A and B are shown apart, each in its own frame.
Chain A
Amino acid sequence: MLYVIVLMTMLFSAIQAIRTAHLINSALWLACVSALLATVLYGVGAHEIAVIELSVGAGLVTVLFVFAIGLAGDEPMPTKTVIPRLFAFALVFTFTLLLILFTLPLTGSASASSQISLTETFWQVRSADSLAQIVLIFTSVLTVLGLLTERRVKSKRVFTPVQEREVKKELSL
């Protein structure tokens, strides 16, 4: 029952993150989604992922959003949407219906449980993933540096005639 309430709150937070007008509120609702998702993940049994989701999703990403909103500014948008709301709703409904039809009922062999720990799985079985993640992190750091670093333009200082005379006077003194 507790997890049903958590899940409903999570979905409500997600809807609010999309609906709210101000970007900063949107980022805060998204942080709520992350925190509640971490609770659900803990309940499912994925304790490590819950911790990572809480620290990265609710912490790091929220800080990044607030930083980006501070740089870009909160801009009021016109209420008219890109596509009509009814059409978007129909598309989403169709998508969800197809997803349910293709995925349910869940048929898995739950008996095939492996004895390998998460550390071994992550660093040995899925070592290519780990390497790809390291490469991606470095690439993203370089990309962000390239995007946000301002190029310094060497500007030649131009003096007005009055300033030029003053500078000459100072030099002669």
Chain B
Amino acid sequence: MTLEPVALVGVLGLLSVGLYGLLIVRNLLKVVVALQIMSKAAVLALVLAGSASGQMNLGQSLAITVIVVDTITAVIALALAVKVRQRCATLDVRALSTLRG
């Protein structure tokens, strides 16, 4: 049994869990966690695509780019969440969406 079909199930599973998390969570920091899960699925998908097409190095190179961009996104999102918490005293996305002024 090769690893590729198993890893493909992992990609689909991680994408589904991440998307479900994005849809239901209300905490801003948890939204970042859900985004991280989805980006991990993207990394695995890129490596799998590289492996399937015989261009493993290209897949790995693109995966490095995704990891860097994903980390930067997490850093900026976490900093924004901290700032939102200091300003509005909440991390609830529903409460934030009803703020006025």
Contact = CB atoms under 8 A, between A and B. Distances in A.
Interface of A: 1, 3-4, 7, 10-11, 14-15, 17-18, 23, 26-27, 30, 33-34, 37, 40-41, 43-46, 48-49, 52-53, 56-57, 60-61, 64-65, 67-69, 71-73, 75, 77-78, 81-83, 85, 88-89, 91-92, 95-96, 99-100, 106, 108-114, 116-118, 120-122, 125-126, 129, 132-133, 136-137, 139-140, 143-144, 147-148
Interface residues on B, range: 35 or more
Given A72-B82, A92-B23, A40 B91 contact: no
A116 B83 CA distance: 45
Interface in B61-93: 61-65, 67-69, 71-72, 74-76, 78-83, 85, 90-93
A84 to B, nearest CB: 9
27 contacts: A7-B13, A11-B13, A17-B37, A18-B17, A41-B47, A43-B3, A44-B48, A45-B56, A46-B56, A49-B60, A49-B64, A57-B36, A61-B74, A65-B33, A68-B79, A72-B82, A89-B20, A91-B23, A92-B20, A96-B16, A99-B12, A108-B53, A108-B54, A109-B54, A114-B58, A136-B72, A144-B79
A78 B79 CA distance: 23
Contacts of A53: 40, 43, 67
B31 to A, nearest CB: 10
A7 B60 contact: no
Interface of B is mostly: helix
B54 A14 contact: no
A45 B85 CA distance: 42
Interface of A is mostly: helix
Contacts of B68: 133, 136-137
A40 B33 contact: no
B67 A56 contact: yes
Nearest to A7: B10
Contacts of B44: 37, 40-41, 44
A27 B32 CA distance: 10
Contacts of A15: 17
A85 B56 CA distance: 39
B40 A122 contact: no
